[in-house]
Structure 1
């Protein structure tokens, strides 16, 4: 971090209760990961209070602690450390990240949407990589704790930061947008994720649009105009760029060729056209790519530079990750699930020809009153996409109810399925594994990888 101790104290409106003007390197909120000269930031969670681990953090090498409550005896504190007290450590983390973002001379791209955020983030970073040094959000560090931690990992060597912004309710993206102050915002789609909290897709749209709350005429919003909710958005005090399959959009795609492990398409904007091949399957990734290309155009990249940049794609794990085993192919997409992403993943599975297509599907969480209807819809959608459907968990019978045919197996738990996995999976199968994060279906992926056929 390119910050001084005084800058940190002032940015968080803190009080130096112990000051040894220590050297420091980066922020850490987990004592299990503390390294020498880290700043230990004592966050209060639902099941823990970081303020109670200050002594442990110092013993493991932290040089500074930021706290909002004192649980230690001052006699226990080492002589060569610094302690900063603030009113609320979570808010202070956001305050510091906001200050630091403004200090750095870089462009920020904020990415949100009901699904596809992470793939779009990865694509944006790749397309930009030929011209710029790009930082992107790691994993799912996209909430009010994760996003500021990502900002605080930046330094002056970066040209662009691509930051993912997640939410589960109104007001949350507003906080993230206020902190990250994006120059360009991207919204992938408006689906059913988190409808349990937000009650309607209109409210989901309202929550996602909070990413533009601090925009003015210098900002740009890039949207997927194939989405029925987003296509209605018009220019406000900021520019709106639309992507999709219609030639009337600012950036459009046609001549799409879908293959098992890659996708080829032609891109046209107002000035030029080019053909891209991305090492990601699925038509939905054409739209994600168009969003990324629109970002790259705003940041003055040529199509040629983008074509070179996509070779640097580093996709986040457990999102349509193709795992080629000796005798089977696994499509690991078990990081998260929504109705839209379920359908996209089933479409990818359907591109595999002359092999038995197996879909292992679990629960889609946070759908509230829409849950039964949504799972029935996926069961119906899967009917002509798979040769065998394996439905696991709370909504398994609703998946089964609308599935056309008898080639479906249901299990109460993933452990029940894993116990008989060797009797079900056959040589040359292509197997999609997909469920919401809470299902932790990576254990199924692990079992498939270890399977001896």
Structure 2
């Protein structure tokens, strides 16, 4: 943040000076007054249920040297003498514009990651793979939107070699704006599924939205894609190099694959070298995520042995296929989000778990539009094929799950989490395996926490 002067900030956000306190030292930037410390920049965002412009006095008292506002909802004399104020038309746009300018002053290489599913897992794998050779920053939590990504940019400085940044979206244009800020040197697209199809209507539109990550590419930029995905397997680009990964004839392919409940093992064949990897995450889908990470590392000229050393230090984001082995039973916590593809991937992982009974506790998958019923039914059909012994569902698509599973003796439906928890607590047996998965808004971590309490 010390890279920015007061004058540069005014120009970047196209702002007007309301107060110049002549104290222009900035160590960090925040949009939350609870996180302000001395020498902060506070950007007063305005939403449907909040207005940061109402908290300028509090920001000043906590140590903000600069407040960027779109409304003057304070008295100048109530602010501390070290607080400057810049007035802009739109603070959300100002946040993006300032982050874009700050990014232009950084020498850090940026790897941008998007896709319908697997973004966070691929982010974690990529950051780990690179970490033994170079200093790496990665997106924290789910800071992957038009507010979160700029905040991640502001946590960077030139002590980092690479930043691995996740980019999410729900409609056209959003990835474009994120790419304009981050200007990724390397982009990764994990897959094109049906998440957000409610807004975008077709998978082809989802592909178009995800490909916006290349909107500012030049010929020396690289796009890495999952060649196993039907839409990504056929893409081409005139303005950058495309690298494809997969199990067939792609640039980086996985051969001699092994999976079990705790890890994946495979050999990477890049057409020149072959190298064996053993990675402590479950699921065949994570072989593809790992290949994306490995390809990014090789593009950055990190040797295979260094990539393997880095992956040994893998730190994964919570609530994503987190296998929790207790004294009585095993829980697969995959509560963070859900789509048909990620549901099926989690059910695939269930087949590798050693358990006497395999129980799936599934909730609503959001933002699937008019065909939501069909997609929930398909997931239930997949659960049946995969040999799930008991399917427990909660939410508005219980009937779809029931129709797809087609076995009332092994199906239980509930309309709220409390009733589902009561049933599970009274019916779990020793050596059961229990998958818990739904879209984030369902708050299925409540189920996981109650199961953990029974599993001590």
Distance 2:174 2:241 in 1: 23
Preserved CA contact (<8 Å) 2:96 2:181: yes
Preserved CA contact (<8 Å) 2:355 2:433: no
1:338 corresponds to: 339
2:440 corresponds to: 437
Preserved CA contact (<8 Å) 2:126 2:164: yes
Secondary structure (helix, strand or coil) at the match of 2:64 reads coil
1:304 corresponds to: 305
Q: What's the TM-score once normalised by structure 1's chain length?
A: 0.97
Distance 1:421 1:38 in 2: 48
Correspondence for 2:164 among 148, 162, 165 = 162
How far apart are 1:39 and its partner, in Å?
Answer: 1.5
5+ long unaligned stretches in structure 1? none
Preserved CA contact (<8 Å) 2:257 2:266: yes
Residues 243 and 452 (structure 1 numbering): CA distance in 2 closer, same or farther, change over 3 Å? closer
Preserved CA contact (<8 Å) 2:329 2:455: no
Preserved CA contact (<8 Å) 2:343 2:437: yes
Distance 2:215 2:237 in 1: 14
> Could you report, residue by residue, the CA deviation over 1:230-284 in whole angstroms, capped at 9, with x for unpaired residues?
10112422111110001x2100001111111111111100220111111100000
> Could you report, residue by residue, the CA deviation over 1:118-177 in whole angstroms, capped at 9, with x for unpaired residues?
000111101111111111111111111111110010011000011111110011111011
Q: What's the TM-score once normalised by structure 2's chain length?
A: 0.97
How far apart are 1:27 and its partner, in Å?
Answer: 1.0
1:132 corresponds to: 134
How far apart are 1:31 and its partner, in Å?
Answer: 1.7
Preserved CA contact (<8 Å) 1:346 1:385: no
> Could you report, residue by residue, the CA deviation over 1:74-116 in whole angstroms, capped at 9, with x for unpaired residues?
2222222121222211111111111111111111111000000
Preserved CA contact (<8 Å) 1:223 1:242: yes
Distance 2:143 2:239 in 1: 30
Distance 1:452 1:344 in 2: 25
Distance 2:87 2:426 in 1: 59
2:419 corresponds to: 416
The 5 Å alignment of 1:222-261 reads: 222-246=224-248, 248-261=249-262
Secondary structure (helix, strand or coil) at the match of 1:109 reads strand
Correspondence for 1:75 among 74, 77, 82 = 77
How far apart are 1:314 and its partner, in Å?
Answer: 1.0
How far apart are 1:324 and its partner, in Å?
Answer: 2.2
1:181 corresponds to: 183
The 5 Å alignment of 1:349-364 reads: 349-364=350-365
1:394 corresponds to: 396
Correspondence for 2:209 among 207, 210, 224 = 207
Correspondence for 1:64 among 51, 63, 66 = 66
How far apart are 1:25 and its partner, in Å?
Answer: 1.4
Distance 2:441 2:413 in 1: 19
Residues 452 and 261 (structure 1 numbering): CA distance in 2 closer, same or farther, change over 3 Å? closer
1:122 corresponds to: 124
How far apart are 1:388 and its partner, in Å?
Answer: 1.2
Distance 2:113 2:387 in 1: 30
> Could you report, residue by residue, the CA deviation over 1:376-396 in whole angstroms, capped at 9, with x for unpaired residues?
000100013311111110001
Preserved CA contact (<8 Å) 2:61 2:79: no
The runs of at least 4 consecutive aligned structure 1 residues that moved more than 4 Å come to: none
1:53 corresponds to: 55
How far apart are 1:46 and its partner, in Å?
Answer: 1.8
How far apart are 1:452 and its partner, in Å?
Answer: 5.7
Secondary structure (helix, strand or coil) at the match of 1:420 reads helix
Residues 451 and 287 (structure 1 numbering): CA distance in 2 closer, same or farther, change over 3 Å? same
Distance 1:409 1:161 in 2: 45
Distance 2:39 2:361 in 1: 45
